[in-house]
Every structure is written in C-alpha cells, then in structure tokens.
Structure 1
Amino acid sequence: MEADLSGFNIDAPRWDQSTFLGRVKHFFNITDPRTIFVSEQELDWAKEEVEKSRRGLVPPGTQVERLLYAKKLYDSAFHPDTGEKMNLIGRMSFQVPGGMVITGFMMQFYRTMPAVIFWQWVNQSFNALVNYTNRNAASPTSVRQMALSYFTATTTAVATAVSMNMWTKPHFVGKWRVTTSALERACTPFHSAFPSPPRSPSRELIQGICVKDKDQNELGCSRRAAAVGITQVVISRITMAAPGMILLPVVMERLERLHLMKKVRVLHAPLQVLLCGCFLLFMVPVACGLFPQECKLPVSYLEPDLQDTIKAKSGEQVLFAYFNKGL
C-alpha cells in the first residue's frame, strides 16, 4: 500500500512496547527463523533502506510494507546500539534452529559422561556467543573478561551436569534397585543451565552499565541498572528453556512406549529435536517479550553518587534513566 510517509518514523515500534502482547508481536517479527536464510545483499539493502528513511530520503510512492519489511530484517540482523551486523549464530532469530538442535541432543544423549560434557560445552559456547552478540554495546568487554566469563560459565555448567548425571544413576539399597524417573534424568541439562546466565555479564555488575536520558545523552554507569537488566535477561532465558526441558521429557516418555518408537529407535533423536523446535518457536518471542528491551529506571533508584552527578549536570529535569538490557 502507498501512503504519506512525511510523518513516518521507521524506528517507532510497530506494536505498543508498553504491553506484553505488543512486545511478543514485536519479537515474533524479529526472531522469525526464516530471516537467517536472507542473503547478505538483502540485509545490506535493508540497512540502506532504514538509514534512508531515518534521513527522510525515501522516494515518493514507496510502499509502507516495503519499509516495514526492511526494518524487520534490520532488527533481526543488526545490533540496536551500534548498527553493526551481528554474527549469524548469535542472532535471536537463530535461537530456534540452534536451540532446538542443542537442547534436543542434550536431552537425548545424557546417559554417558562424555556426551554430557560435550553437549554442555556446546550449549555454553552457544550461550556465550548469544550473550556477547546481544550485549549492551555501550559497555565494552575485553578479551580477558570474555575468556574468564566463558571459562567460568562452562566449567560451572559442566560440573553441575556431571554431578546431576552421577546422582541420577541407578543404585542399590540392599537387594532393591533404586532409580530416578526418566523425567528427572532428562532434566539434568535444565539443572545445569541455572548457574550459567549470570556468569557472562559479571563485569557489568562490578563496573556498571551505561545509562542515558530520553534524548540518548549518556548519564554515567550504574551497577544497580546492570543488576536489573541481568536479572530480567536471566528470567527470560530460563522461561525460554523451561517449557521444553520440563514438558518434553514427559511427552517423549509417553511416545517411546508406542510400538513404532520401540521398533525404530533412530527416530527418537530427530523427533526430540523437532519437538524442541516447536516449543522454542513460541517461547523465544514470549520470553523476550517479558520485559521491555529498553529498560526505564527512576533516577532516584540509581546510586547516590550517580544521582548527584546527574543533578549537577541537569538539575531536576532528568527523572528517568534508560538503557538497553540486551536479550
């Protein structure tokens, strides 16, 4: 459709971001896994279209849907802070295909120690790349800090998974064989996921995260803002993984009783991966939409010294601080 684009703001959210439903619709749009198959040339075209629209250089007669499609591709592939193209694996649009394979294999191959260690390492490497790709780019991270965070998260997750795997192995009490349920054993990957999300951004908790006013002017760095942002990201990540990791073992346990599944065991892993994808297809946008991507905090909540700095510069005019919490 053609429309008057004189008042069109391409950066204005298509859906109301103050509501949960509006945020879910927004993230359904930008986490669409089909966007990972878009060519580099088309992504560059999308960025050019967005930049033209921002400068008011859109040719007359341009369709609104064309601009909205360009913005969808732009949001799916370019960092909101820097505008730089993100690596493919770290994009939120890659969460469904990447997460379904890793999560499905983690729950399928949990019976041997080498398999547990390998898939936990793959999972933590994937999480670390996603965390880094979707970080708040206003807070630079050194190579040493990234390496330390990666090592800590991976070691903690592998140790937790190995401990859970050993605890759930069948054992004997006298002549009785005692074993945990298939559900509890299959949830071993989920237990090990809990320590990992807070590890990567630990530097932000120490140094703080950059906060800005509504006009995007930097106000300073706040540790309290970092704590709020990290807490919301952790809750979102757990919400994203929980339904699949908790409900899928129950579903698989029922399906594996079927004659066909007993006869053709090679179907177990592909089916589990496919079902993981079904869960993630809905849970990725729902989890991302739990909280606004741009956090808003009262200045009165920030550290006293930062409050004093803001008041010295702007008086009482700045009431709220804003920052991108990442995803």
Structure 2
Amino acid sequence: MSIAKISGIRSVKRKKMPARINVDQPLWDQGSFIGRFKHFLWVTDPRTCVASEDDLNNAKTLVEQYRAGKEPPGTSLEQIIYAKKLYESAFHPDSGELQNVFGRMSFQVPGGMAITGAMLQFYRTAPAVVFWQWVNQSFNALVNFTNRNAKSPISTTQLGVAYFTATASAMVTAVGCKSYWQKNAGPFIQRYVPFAAVAAANCANIPLMRQTELIQGIDVSDLNGNLVGQSRLAAVKGISQVVISRIIMCAPGMLVLPVIMERLEKYPWMQKIKPLHAPIQVMGVGCFLIFMVPIACALFPQQCSLKTSTIEWLEPEQYAKIKAKCGENIPERVYFNKGL
C-alpha cells in the first residue's frame, strides 16, 4: 500500500504520536469542530473510493490484528494509520460491513458534483428537472440507507415506500417551484429551483429512509459503551442533525454557483462554449463539496448524546427500561451513533 500518496498522513506524522494508537478512536479531538473537520477531511478523501476490495479487506484485517495486538512484525505506525483510514472510509461503524462504494461519504464529492452540476445546468425544462431530481434522490436514498444506524433494520417494503415517497416529494417540489417561479420570477430566481427541491426532499428522504429508528428507537449506551436501552428521542435528534448537515453540505454550491454562472454567461467567450457550461458547473460544485462534505459532517459530534432526564420526561417507558437495567447507576447522559 502506498502511504505517502494519501492526504492526511503527513499532517499526522508531524504530530508526536504515541507508540500505539487506539484504532477505534479518531486521531483528532472530536470535542471541537476543528478536530472533527480534520477527521472527516481525512476519512472522506474521495481517493479512497478507488481502493480495491482486496485492499479494503486487508486494511480491515490489519486494523483487527492491531486492535488485538497481533499485527505482523515490522508493521509501521503509518501503515496502521493508512489501514485505519481505508477501514473507516469503507466499513460501517455499527455493523462492520463493507459499504456500497456509491453510498460512502467518501463518494459524496465525485457523485455529488456530477449530479448537482447537472441539476444546476439542466433546470429550464420540466422533464429535465424531474429526471435530475429523480437521479439525485435515488443517489441520496442510497447514501442515507448506507449511512443509517445499522442496528435498526428496515424491511424491503419500508425501504420501497421510503424511496418512492422521497423521490416523489423532490419531483413535486421541483416542478411546483418551477411552475410558480416561471410565472412570478425571473430566469435568475429559477436557477434556485434545484436547491429548493433538494432541501425539501432531504427533509423527507432522510427520515423516511431511517423510519425504523424513529418507530422503534435506537440503541443508547453509557460513557463506557455499555448498552443501556433504546430511545426514539435519540433517533429524532440524530436524524435532525443529519438533515441539517446535508442541507448545509449542498447549500454553498447550489446558492453561490448560480450567481457566478449568471455573471459568466453574459460574457461573449462564455456564449461561444455553451457545451462546456455543464462541465464547468460540475467542476464548480466539486470545488465547493471538497470542503463542504467534511464541514457538514463535522457540524455535530458523530457520537451524539442525550440527557437521561429528557428521556425520563418524554419517554417514561424507555426510561423505566434503562432504570431496570442500570439500577441506581443511571448515567446522566446516554450516547449513540447519529449516522451521517
């Protein structure tokens, strides 16, 4: 494995690293936004998407060996860090299963820039709006399903209903906004039809794809990682934060780029290269996403927490189960993976 080519390794090497690291914990402090941003900038590196399945499985094996203190003799810390990066970029933190490459957060930049660029470019006709919203929401549904809390399974029927409802909401919003703005607003405002549809659809897509968590609750643990019960409030909090993060992730590219393109398209030289407008928008979205993906993921801690007093107030039946399991040692806060 080539370690020097992977971004983030050099910055890690500059720090004084201990003789051994905890492969189950991030390399940076997750109590601060900067620490979380560095972590997600590192782990969502789109170049990890091209790693072969063999390399990913080898990285998982090395991480497991290192965790048990049985790594091969001569293994360097840099190799462990690289293996940890591949492992965290491709395997689900709850189930440990290899994720579909198109659903990984590390694929958000290449996948998101292509689809968002197309949505921003092809917004003038209703069929184009409907088609690209369908493509985008299909992609989002895959990402949402891939990055859900894996301890809350969803049936095929629920998955199908969630997918069709989310994609339908996006297309209805897009067509409705286009029809209204076409009559009441100028061409420039119509450029924001894709963002309005995406924002509205995210509010439906994510909760629907993770509806089992809202219905049944998700596992919550104490500070030491010991399972203490389930909570629907935890699911609501985690999913709400993910919705906000996803909207913020796409907002700069979809709000700023139309202004840039509106001005650029007035120049004669831009009029001569109309076939290149779509590729230009795609690259522009990519420039935004390369930073916005880790920024959006870093807005809220991955291991989210909730006060047990809140659960006692709003979910007395779940609090009773936690109390029965913990006795007098009820933790002040419980922790859970919010998903991405």
TM-score band (shorter)? over 0.9
Q: 1:193, CA displacement in angstroms?
A: 1.6
Kindly provide the amino acid, as one letter, of the partner of residue 88 in structure 2.
D
Asked if the contact 2:59–2:84 (Cα under 8 Å) also holds between the matched residues in 1, the reply is yes
Can you list the C-alpha shifts for 1:188-228, whole angstroms capped at 9, x where unaligned? 01111223223322332222222122343332221111110
| Equivalent residue number for residue 173 of structure 2 | 160
Question: For residues 6 and 243 of structure 1, what CA distance do their matches in structure 2 show?
Answer: 41
Q: Name the SS for the 1:196 alignment partner.
A: helix
Give the C-alpha shift of residue 304 in structure 1: 1.7
Task: Specify whether residues 63 and 152 from structure 1 end up closer, same or farther in structure 2 by C-alpha distance, changes over 3 A only.
Answer: same
Q: C-alpha separation between the residues in 1 aligned to 2:139 and 2:190?
A: 22
Q: Is the 8 A contact 2:152 2:212 kept in 1?
A: no
What are the residue-to-residue correspondences of 1:211-250 with 2, within 5 Å? 211-250=220-259
Secondary structure, aligned partner of 1:89: helix
Identical-residue share of aligned pairs (%): 56
5+ unaligned residues in a row in structure 1: which ranges? 172-177
Check whether the contact 2:113–2:283 (CA below 8 A) recurs between aligned residues: yes
In structure 2, the residue matched to 1:174 is none
User: Is 1:272 aligned with 2:284?
Assistant: no
Please, what TM-score do these two structures have when normalized by structure 1?
Answer: 0.93
Where 2:336 maps in the other structure, the secondary structure is: strand
Give yes or no for contact 2:62–2:83 (8 Å, CA) kept in 1: yes
Aligned to 1:126: 139
Cα distance in 1 between the residues matched to 2:74 and 2:229: 43
Tell which deviates more after alignment, 7-16 or 102-111: 7-16
Q: Mapping of 1:1-327 within 5 angstroms?
A: 7-169=20-182, 171=183, 179-182=185-188, 184-197=189-202, 198-302=207-311, 303-317=315-329, 318-327=331-340
- Once structures 1 and 2 are overlaid, which stretch shifts more, 208-217 or 84-93? 208-217
Select the structure that is richer in helix.
2
Contact (CA 8 Å) 2:228, 2:326: kept in 1 or not?
A: no
Equivalent residue letter for 1:168: W
In the alignment, the residues of structure 2 paired with residue 271 and residue 250 of structure 1 have an alpha-carbon distance, to the nearest angstrom, of 14
Q: Secondary structure of the equivalent of 1:297?
A: strand
Q: Is the 8 A contact 1:153 1:195 kept in 2?
A: no
**What letter matches 1:93 in structure 2?**
S
TM-score, normalised to structure 2's length? 0.89
Residue equivalent to 1:175: none
Report the CA distance between 1:179 and its aligned residue.
4.4
Alpha-carbon distance, 1:60 to partner: 4.2
Superposed CA RMSD in Å reads 1.7
Q: How many residues are matched?
A: 318
C-alpha separation between the residues in 2 aligned to 1:111 and 1:310? 54
| Secondary structure of 1:83's aligned partner | coil
Closer/same/farther in 2, CA of residues 235 and 78 from structure 1, 3 Å limit: same
**1:4 and 1:151 mapped to 2: Cα distance?**
48
Alpha-carbon distance, 1:7 to partner: 4.5
